[in-house]
Every structure is written in structure tokens, then in C-alpha cells.
């Protein structure tokens, strides 16, 4: 059995974050769940097989994030594993993307992970062991129409991962990204609704359209993303990588 670690998972109230929390808990780690919805966080925590903690914070609020990490450290000690998963997208043609949407996408999907990594990295380096995994996206690897701001932010966060990994490569700390395709989550449900509204397709037709975009012909299961995150914890030779979990969409 692997040594139990103190883990912090953001965006843990549903979807990929909840699946990651469940997997890490099943592997024997204690997991702090961070999100904005305390009711949903408590529901996820109640289903964990091991020790869990629910911490409410908006990752785009630096003071809330600092207080949340302080709380975890006070009760459990330094964060040894960070899974920066919280994120969201916005769909619009580039020429219709507002400054506000652009700024929001960068703040949530790039700046918030940066602040989290910056906060927990010193403790990991001091301990000589740590794992950071950022949940990016397949669009960190290629451009996609109608999501320019989201794509730019995810490209940026992959650059952050690579730079951080290079800085700490000799310290025992690894930094990786997991890059999912379309996953069967509430976030994809929102995308399905937007496609249906824009094209006149039914929700089932819109969902099937997204499934067909991936060579395997289906949506990714959140547990499959969680499996990739778990791999990053146990393999210390893998760092600075963007691990695709996209059904073969991007071959690299």
C-alpha cells in the first residue's frame, strides 16, 4: 500500500473533482474537498471510504483560498498532494467574446491554479516530496472553435505546469497536467444545452455529437480521469507532462 498522504482537491463537489476525491480516498489518502457548495461537498465527503474534510472557498478569491489552505494545514499538516481541478468554460465566437468573459476564464482556469501551486509548493519542496496535478483539457493541446478564452487559459496552465516541473525537478516534487476530452459531467451537460440552443438539436443529439468528436465514440468517464490523476501520485519519474485522457483525440 502507498503511504497515506494529505490531499487537497479543488472543484470537488461534483464531476471530475468528486471522482478524484473518491479515488484518492479509496487509495488510503485523506482528502480535503474544496468548493463553493457546502451541501454538495458534504455529500461527497459522506461517500468517501476514508477520512475527508469539506472546505468552502471560491478559488478566484485569493483570501478565501489562503484561509482554506491554512485550515487544512492547521488540522492535518502540509498539503502533500494538490489536485487543482476547479474550472469552467464559456462558449462564444472569438469576436463575440467580451473582455469580462476573457478575464473570467483566465482568472478561474489559469490564475487560480497558479496561486494554489505557489501556496503549496514551498512545503512540498521542504519535505522532499509532493505531487501537483492540474486538470487542464484536451484544448490545452489544440485549438477549438467557439472557446477561444477557455482554450487560451488551458494552454497557459499547461505552460505553468511545465515551468513549475522544470523548477522543482530535483526536489522530489512532480507537477503534471491531466488533459481530458469531453467527460460525462455537469460541465458537459452545460455544453450540451448550449449546442442544443444554438443549433436546434435535441439534447440527446447534442450529446451524441460530442461523443462522436472522440475517436472512441463516447464521453470519458470521470473515473478514467481520476485514474490518470492517481497514476501521477505513484510515478515519480513522470513530471512536466500533459497526460491526455481524451479517447484518442490528440495523439502525442
CA 94 to chain centre: 24
Distance CA 87, CA 120 (A): 19
Q: Which residues neighbour 5 within 8 Å (Cβ) at sequence distance 6 or greater?
A: 29, 30, 80, 81, 131, 233
157 near 139, Cβ under 8 Å? no
Phi, psi values for residue 217, rounded to 5°? 80, 20
Please state, as a whole number, how many other Cβ atoms lie within 10 Å of the Cβ of residue 224.
16
Distance CA 86, CA 100 (A): 19
| Rg of the chain, C-alpha, whole Å | 17
185 near 140, Cβ under 8 Å? no
* Residues involved in catalysis: 150
Amino acid at each position: 500500500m502507498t503511504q497515506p498522504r494529505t490531499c487537497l482537491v479543488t472543484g470537488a463537489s461534483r464531476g471530475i473533482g468528486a471522482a478524484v476525491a473518491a479515488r484518492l480516498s479509496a487509495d488510503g489518502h485523506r482528502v480535503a474537498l474544496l468548493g463553493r457548495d457546502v451541501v454538495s461537498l458534504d455529500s461527497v465527503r459522506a461517500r468517501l471510504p476514508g477520512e475527508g474534510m469539506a472546505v468552502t472557498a471560491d478559488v478566484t478569491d485569493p483570501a478565501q483560498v489562503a484561509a482554506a489552505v491554512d485550515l487544512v494545514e492547521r488540522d492535518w499538516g502540509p498539503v502533500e498532494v494538490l489536485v487543482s481541478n476547479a474550472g469552467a468554460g464559456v462558449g462564444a465566437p472569438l469576436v463575440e467574446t467580451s473582455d469580462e468573459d476573457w478575464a473570467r476564464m483566465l482568472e478561474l482556469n489559469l490564475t487560480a491554479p497558479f496561486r494554489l501551486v505557489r501556496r503549496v509548493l514551498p512545503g512540498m519542496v521542504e519535505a522532499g516530496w509532493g505531487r501537483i496535478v492540474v486538470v487542464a483539457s484536451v484544448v490545452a493541446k489544440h485549438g477549438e472553435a467557439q472557446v477561444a478564452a477557455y482554450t487560451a487559459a488551458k494552454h497557459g496552465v499547461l505552460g505553468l505546469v511545465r515551468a513549475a516541473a522544470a523548477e522543482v525537478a530535483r526536489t522530489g516534487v512532480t507537477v503534471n497536467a491531466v488533459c481530458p476530452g469531453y467527460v460525462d459531467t455537469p460541465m458537459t451537460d452545460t455544453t450540451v444545452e448550449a449546442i442544443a440552443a444554438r443549433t436546434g438539436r435535441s439534447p440527446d443529439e447534442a450529446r451524441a455529437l460530442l461523443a462522436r468528436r472522440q475517436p472512441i465514440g463516447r464521453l470519458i468517464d470521470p473515473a478514467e480521469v481520476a485514474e490518470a490523476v492517481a497514476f501521477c501520485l505513484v510515478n515519480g519519474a513522470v513530471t512536466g507532462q500533459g497526460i491526455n485522457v481524451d479517447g484518442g483525440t490528440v495523439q502525442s
